Amino acid sequence: MYTVTSKTKRETSVFLKCDCGCSMFVVEKTVWDDGDTTYNISVQDSRYDHNYTTIWGRIKTAFTILFGKPVYYSDVYIGDPEKFHNFVAQLNDLCAEDKEADHSS
């Protein structure tokens, strides 16, 4: 878990890298000074092993979208169950902060 605090907000991120290192699953929680809490969930991709950066790769992706087929920009493969369970535990810790805040107010 990674936390950054600034003058207007506190951001906490939990991330899980793909076993091959090409992408990661990221959950970001932001607690603003006014008390609002927001979440952002993303899959971040280094794209070093994909064919998205060439013209031909972009054209193929466009045709796939035009014909209504699913496009998978990235995925996160985790082969180690313990690594995944640790990520879930970190997500639960991130949510526990909200529950504690609800009970204290």
Amino acid at site 5: T
17: confidence class by pLDDT, cuts 50, 70, 90: confident
Which helix (H) or strand (E) segment is 60 a member of? Answer: helix 55-66
* Alpha-carbon gap, residue 66 to 61, rounded angstroms: 9
Q: What is the pLDDT of residue 8?
A: 79
Provide the 8-state DSSP code for 97.
H
CB neighbours of residue 64 within 10 Å: 13
Predicted local distance difference test score (pLDDT) of residue 7: 73
Q: Which residue has the tokens 């699953």?
A: 25
- Say what the pLDDT of residue 75 is: 65
Question: For the segment 18-65, what is each residue's pLDDT rounded down to a tens digit?
Answer: 777 677 788 888 888 888 888 888 887 655 555 556 788 778 878 888
Mean pLDDT confidence for 78-95: 85
